[in-house]
């Protein structure tokens, strides 16, 4: 039995999009395969270890994101940079995606600093980008359709240090203009897909689990397949609702 150590960052502040559902999916998919998930929750002011395998950063309302933006660089950024350099995994969703990049500039010009784990920068637009979102995602040369919901005012652009998680089939994506969605640098992933993300996307859930277990054990991991009928049905329903042909 392997142990996957997860650090859930700001579960009290960044949880607006059912982010605990993503942790629940990671736990259950590990347990079904005989592995154990250990979760450390770290909030405002809490230092974090640099030796965990997977770090999760969710989404929140603007006022909560502002509080996190003041704390994250001061108490957690150094450990996160060390962990990413060691091959650990980061999954950052919506507001977490913005703060994992270089930062977020609000409509009034105020700036929430990020920590630069992703080469992405976000500026608020005049309207919110809302609706079902379907992308063709690619990780390590493997392509899958990934679905979710987006609700963000930010327009995110990527620098050369990150590539999009995928190309938009339906919805807006990072900025509604360039066709990209999310950002990937090494094993750090940022995305606007939520609702939550992982229950309807077992391939992505298993990818971050596999990466985390590889970090834990220092060797390649092959995950046993699971019976994903319910997950695939939810995925298909989201694709159909978005009007994308299967």
| Active-site annotation, residues | 94, 194
SS3 state at 163:
strand
Structure-block tokens of residue 46: 């809490």
Say if residues 153 and 192 touch (Cβ distance below 8 Å). no
DSSP 182: -
How remote is the C-alpha of 152 from its chain's centroid?
14
Helix ranges (H only) for the chain are: 19-31, 62-75, 77-85, 95-100, 202-217, 229-241
Alpha-carbon distance 244 to 246, whole Å? 6
Alpha-carbon distance 165 to 211, whole Å? 16
> In this structure, how many other beta carbons lie within 10 angstroms of the beta carbon of residue 214?
17
How remote is the C-alpha of 160 from its chain's centroid?
19
Nearest CA to 39 among 8, 64, 63?
8
Alpha-carbon distance 214 to 178, whole Å? 33
Torsion sign, CA atoms 226, 21, 134, 188 = negative
Alpha-carbon distance 56 to 48, whole Å? 12
């Amino acid at each position: 039995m392997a142990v996957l150590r997860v650090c859930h960052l700001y579960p009290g502040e960044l949880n607006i999009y059912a982010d605990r559902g993503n942790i629940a999916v990671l736990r259950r998919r590990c347990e079904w395969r005989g592995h154990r998930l250990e979760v450390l929750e770290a909030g405002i002011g809490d230092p974090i270890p640099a030796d965990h395998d997977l770090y999760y950063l969710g989404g929140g309302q603007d006022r909560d994101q502002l509080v996190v933006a003041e704390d994250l660089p001061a108490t957690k950024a150094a450990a996160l940079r060390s962990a990413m350099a060691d091959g650990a995994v980061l999954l950052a969703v919506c507001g977490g995606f913005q703060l994992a990049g270089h930062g977020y500039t609000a409509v009034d010009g105020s700036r929430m600093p990020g920590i630069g784990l992703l080469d992405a920068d976000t500026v608020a637009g005049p309207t919110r980008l809302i609706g079902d979102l379907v992308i063709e995602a690619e990780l390590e040369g493997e392509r899958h359709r990934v679905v979710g919901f987006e609700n963000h005012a930010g327009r995110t652009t990527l620098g050369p240090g990150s590539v999009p998680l995928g190309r938009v089939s339906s919805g807006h994506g990072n900025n509604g203009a360039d066709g990209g969605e999310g950002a990937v640098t090494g094993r750090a992933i940022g995305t606007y897909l939520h609702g939550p993300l992982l229950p309807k996307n077992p391939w992505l859930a298993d990818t971050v689990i596999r990466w985390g277990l590889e970090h834990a054990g220092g060797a390649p991991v092959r995950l046993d397949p699971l019976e994903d009928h319910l997950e695939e049905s939810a995925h298909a329903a989201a694709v159909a609702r978005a009007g994308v042909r299967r």
